[in-house]
Structures are given as structure tokens and as C-alpha cells.
Chain A
């Protein structure tokens, strides 16, 4: 019963019923129209024939009197067909014709009339429907000319019956078809629902079945599967983060605790205490920074933080951030150059993009110098450039340092990942993860490439054409220093 109720509730079944009702009404109207038209047309035809015959007989009567009329009627009555004739005197006595017994109503009526008459048949007498015109002649004589319309009545009856049966069959096929289609669809939906429930129960690796027919349900399943893949990835990320937090936050916390504990255990002079306290604050600051970075990344990956988007010029921002780092580069003996000629207008969050850019440049300055005394023949330089092509803004930060080996390139984008060679530099290993999160929030992506030698980081962001058309304020390029 519940299965049946469920079936009746399906959209498909309801749609089938609605269509069925609509088509039934349309079919009924059409068939009735045909029926009605046929009947009326036939009646009119019969009427006209009878009229024509009456006129002819009337002429004969006028020309040759009653005798000739009786003769002609008798003659015509003998020819087989559906025509009915009767000439009778005022007492109702038949003078000629094939219509014998006539009811008093017919006798008294004038003009066209429908009536039932009896006719000898193989099994006795049969009653048939007829249509006639009664004409009164002088002296009480009657001339009745008619047609047997029993066949026509039967035809009408047949059309009516066919129509009803047809409608019935249509309803049956409609309901049956609707039932079948709904059942088929319901089975698939039930399958999807079952899979969804197992996924909800915790099996994140589960995927909705795809029949392979490429229909709308398949397309829906594919979209949901993509979504599930993303969720699985996010959950994996979350698990990874908690592992990372355990390691990268607990370790410095433990260090901090040990140091304070040690200072408490052994009586020391004031400067020693001061020193411990200062280092504790330093460690705490570092922890706060790491914690903030982690929170930012988590928020960005959850899709939050896009509320402050505005139209901005990426070229100006590139010059701006490069200018911020220029003295640092100079201090380290690295040539920092920025190239971005035309305004590149995108829709984005200036603070987030600024931070992403700052992280990239900061990384390039930290790790982009030929390290360990290995001279690769290039003077240390960091180049930042921005260009726009095919609706995509590309920001490229390249250095001439040791680069990142091919297999490591995807890995370093993850949280807390630091290459062995870079452990000596201060850093949390969160910089690139934040850039990736910012890129993703803006619908863009981050790619690491070989600069031969060195590392080239490419940040691609989609430009939104409409932001330009909507009369956005185009900022002039920032002053270069």
C-alpha cells in the first residue's frame, strides 16, 4: 500500500494523469464534433432528397391527378432501396406504396417527422427508424415520402460506442504507461536515495549510480558525484588540518611550556627570567600568526570572506605590493622588478589578493636566492609581472633560485609543507596554501612551473567582463617608486 501511495505521489505519475485527462478531453471534443457533423450532414442530405422527390411527385399529381401519382408511387415502391412511400385516402386506406401501417401521429403531422415503422424481415417483423415528410393532398389524401434511417442510427451508435471504448482504452494505456514509467523512475530514485543514505551514514567514498544513458538523472547523479568528491576532499583536508595542528601547533606550545617550566625550576637572576619571558612572547606571537593563517585558510576554503569584493586594478596592486617589498629585496641583494603596463581590472578582494601577492613575493625573496653557495650562473632576481589574456589575469612571480623539483610542486601547495632545503628560513609553511585558497575563492588557480633555473609561480584569476562594462571606476596605475 505504501509503495503504491509512493508511486501515486511521484511527479511522473501525476504528470501522466494530467496529460491523460487533457488528451481525453481533447479526444472527446474531437470525436463528438465528428459525430455531430456526420449526423447533421446526413440528415440534411436525406431531407433534401425527400424534398426533391416530393416536388417531383407533386408535379406528377398536378399533371396527371391522383391516378398518375398512385401509379408512379407504386412503381417506385417496387424498386429496392431505402425509400418509403405511401399514398392513402382520407380514411387512411393505402392506395399505393411500401409503407403499410401508419401511426395516428404520423397521419396527423405535416412536414418532416421521424418515426418507427415495421418491416417484414427474415425472422418476422422488425421495427426500424425512418424519416418522412407528410404532404396533404386535396380531398384528405396523404402523400408520405420517407427514408429508412435505421442504418444511419446504427452508424451513429457505432461511432458513439467506438468513442467510449477508445477513451476507455486510452485511459487504460495512459494510466498503465504512467504507472510503468513512474515505477521505472522510482526504482532509480530509490537506488539514489539508498546510496545517499549510506553516504550520510559516513561512507564518504560512496557515489551515486550512473546508468550510462546520459539522461537527466545521470546528469544529476554526475553533478552530485562531483559535489561528493569535493566534500570528500574537504573532509580529507579537515582531517589533514587537525593532524597538522596537532603537530605544528603542539610542538611550539610544548617548547614554550618546557622553557617556562625550566625557568621556574631553577632559581635564576632577573635577566635570565626576562630572557625567558621575551622568548615566550616571541613564541606566542609565532603561534598566534600560525593560528591566524590557519583560520584564514579555513575560512577562505569554506567560501567565506568574499564580501568585500570590489573592482580593482591588478596591475596597480602588483606595483603596490612589489614596492612594499622593494627595500627588503634591495637589502638582500636581490633585484626585484615589476612589470604590468595596462590596467587589469578584476572583481576581487584587495586585502586577500594583496596578501596572496605579498606571500608570493615574500616566498620568492626568501627561497629564490641561489642557496647554499651554489652559483647557478644567475644573479639573484625576482620578477613580478601581470598581464591579461582571453579574460584571464595572470600574475607571474619568478625567481632564479633552486626552484621546486617537479614531483614536489603539487605537494608544497598543501598546508605546513616545507621543503627540507627551506627549513632554515622562518616560516609556517602556510603561505602558498593561503594563496591557493585566495585563488580558489576568486575562481582562479595557482600553478608552479620551472623557470629554468628557478621557480615560476603563476596565479590565474578570471576577469569579469561585466565589471568593466558596468562603468566601474578604473583606478590609475599606482605611482612607481
Chain B
């Protein structure tokens, strides 16, 4: 996918460009808000990564301007300001997700991959299918190879979140934000324990596990048979 990085720090931008390329994406870069705005207007990108503090035009204004011009490219805001208030301001300006510096690249990658696919039809689906695991969002039922699996409401939402982004990495923070709506660090790795519970329910009696841990990043659910 084609990514535009608007970031004034040369080294960070170069790092992002390299790392995104390694992950199989094409990255372009603008060093200030005005240049970023011009590029975003003329080219079609799948995702924008915008630093909040930029020379000439600041990040939030760039996003606001683009949104007012009906350019709806999914946007991730990068910022050193990490409080909930700042986050709310960023999302209100039209950003789709918010990541606080310093961040792990795996977190950034997972988030932009999910963001880029946000406009895909998955959002409206009522049934998620991965291999022979089926989750019905309307009846709140989960079956694995036809066998019913009883899940607690929170486990259901955890699985739903993973299956919505099947094949993609979902980080612990993303799970905490999407399933629990918590934007803070719960210190202990509570998510890991919840995942291991979920895993014991859906994968225990099957040979091919569907729920995988991605080291240093998070979790993914995918059909390993393919």
C-alpha cells in the first residue's frame, strides 16, 4: 500500500520509510505541513501518517484541511502529546487513529494496516469466518468446525475484534482500546491472559491453531492451512 509520511524529523522519516518498505509498502515523505498537504491533494494514498507538530502548517490543520476538501484518506496521527485530551482533539480534527511517541514500529504497522482496510466490506459483515471458525455477530454464536463454543461477552468481543482483522496483526494496545475502551497502560500484561483463555476455548481441541502470537507485536488470527 502507498503511504505518505508527513514528519519534520529527517531521521524518523527515513526510518519509517525504510521500515515500511521492508514491510512491503511504498512510502513517500514530506518534511512540512504545506508540502504534505500538496502531496496528499495530488496523489492517491492508502494511508497518511501525520506528525502533530510540523513546520508551516501543523498536523491537525493538515487533516482538517484535507477533510474539508473531502479527501478521506485514513490518517494516523503521531504525537508526543499522549494524554487522553490530546487524543480526543486529534480524533476530532479528523484523524482516524492516534499514536504517542515513542512508539514501537510494530504497533504503528499494525495500526496502519488495520486503518487502510477500515473502508473494506468487513465492517458491515454479520459473519466472520476464519478456516472453520465462524462468528455470528447477530446471534452472538461462535462455532469451530460446527462445534458450538460458549464465550463470555468480553471474550466474544475479543474474538470479534481479532476476526474482523483476520490475517492482520492486532496489538495489545489496540485490543485494550477496542474491546475495553481503555486508553491507559494496565501494567501487567492482562491482555495476554485474556488471549490465553480465549485460545484455550477455541483452539484447545484442534490440531491447527488459528490464534497466533506475533512476537514483539501482538496477535493475529488466520487460517494456517492456507
Contact = CB atoms under 8 A, between A and B. Distances in A.
A399 interface: no
Contacts of B15: none
A304 B82 CA distance: 13
Contacts of A427: 187
Contact of B186 (A305, A324, A350): A324
Contact of B180 (A308, A320, A327, A328): A320
B184 A355 contact: yes
A296 B85 CA distance: 12
Contact of B184 (A284, A320, A358): A358
Nearest to B197: A327
A354 B187 contact: no
Contacts of B188: 325, 328, 362, 365-366
Contacts of A431: 187
A331 B193 contact: yes
Contacts of B181: 350
A304 B85 CA distance: 9
B21 interface: no
Nearest to A359: B187
Contacts of B85: 304-305, 307-308
A299 B86 CA distance: 12
B186 A351 contact: no
Nearest to B191: A324
Contacts of A285: 104
Interface string A284-325: 110011001001100100001101100000000000100111
Contacts of A325: 186, 188, 190
B102 A288 contact: yes
Most B CB contacts (10 A, CB to CB) among A288, A324, A359, A362 go to A324
Interface residues of A, number: 34
A2 interface: no
Contacts of B120: none
B194 interface: yes
A362 B185 CA distance: 11
B44 interface: no
B124 interface: no
Nearest to B198: A327
Interface in A332-374: 349-352, 354-355, 358-359, 362, 365-366
Contacts, number: 70
A344 B62 CA distance: 42
Contacts of A308: 84-85, 88
Contacts of B152: 481
A298 to B, nearest CB: 11
A358 B83 contact: no
A479 interface: yes
B84 A305 contact: yes
Nearest to B102: A288
Contact of B193 (A295, A327, A351): A327
B141 interface: no
A110 to B, nearest CB: 98
B213 to A, nearest CB: 16
Contacts of B84: 305, 308, 349, 351-352
A324 B180 contact: yes
A324 B193 CA distance: 10
A286 to B, nearest CB: 11
A60 B155 CA distance: 130
Contact of A351 (B104, B154, B183): B183
B187 A351 contact: no
A481 B158 CA distance: 14
Interface string A460-481: 0000000000000000000101
A299 B183 CA distance: 16
A478 to B, nearest CB: 9
B190 A354 contact: no
Contact of B154 (A288, A292, A323): A323
Interface in B2-54: none
Contacts of B104: 285
A431 B187 CA distance: 9
Contacts of A299: 83
Contacts of B187: 358-359, 362, 427, 431
Interface string A235-278: 00000000000000000000000000000000000000000000
Interface in B169-226: 180-188, 190, 193-194, 196-197
A432 to B, nearest CB: 12
Interface in B65-91: 82-85, 88
Contact of A362 (B88, B100, B186): B186
B146 interface: no
Nearest to B189: A328
B190 A481 contact: no
Nearest to A428: B187
Contacts of B186: 324-325, 355, 358, 362
Nearest to A289: B185
Most B CB contacts (10 A, CB to CB) among A288, A351, A366 go to A351
Given A288-B102, A292-B82, A351-B182, A327 B153 contact: no
Most B CB contacts (10 A, CB to CB) among A328, A331, A349, A365 go to A328
Interface in B84-125: 84-85, 88, 100, 102, 104
Contacts of A362: 186-188
Nearest to B183: A351
A304 B155 CA distance: 35
A284 B193 CA distance: 24
Most A CB contacts (10 A, CB to CB) among B82, B183, B190, B197 go to B190
B197 to A, nearest CB: 5
Interface of A: 284-285, 288-289, 292, 295-296, 299, 304-305, 307-308, 320, 323-325, 327-328, 331, 349-352, 354-355, 358-359, 362, 365-366, 427, 431, 479, 481
21 contacts: A292-B82, A292-B100, A295-B82, A299-B83, A304-B83, A305-B84, A308-B84, A308-B88, A320-B180, A323-B154, A324-B182, A324-B186, A325-B188, A325-B190, A327-B193, A327-B194, A327-B197, A328-B193, A358-B184, A362-B187, A366-B188
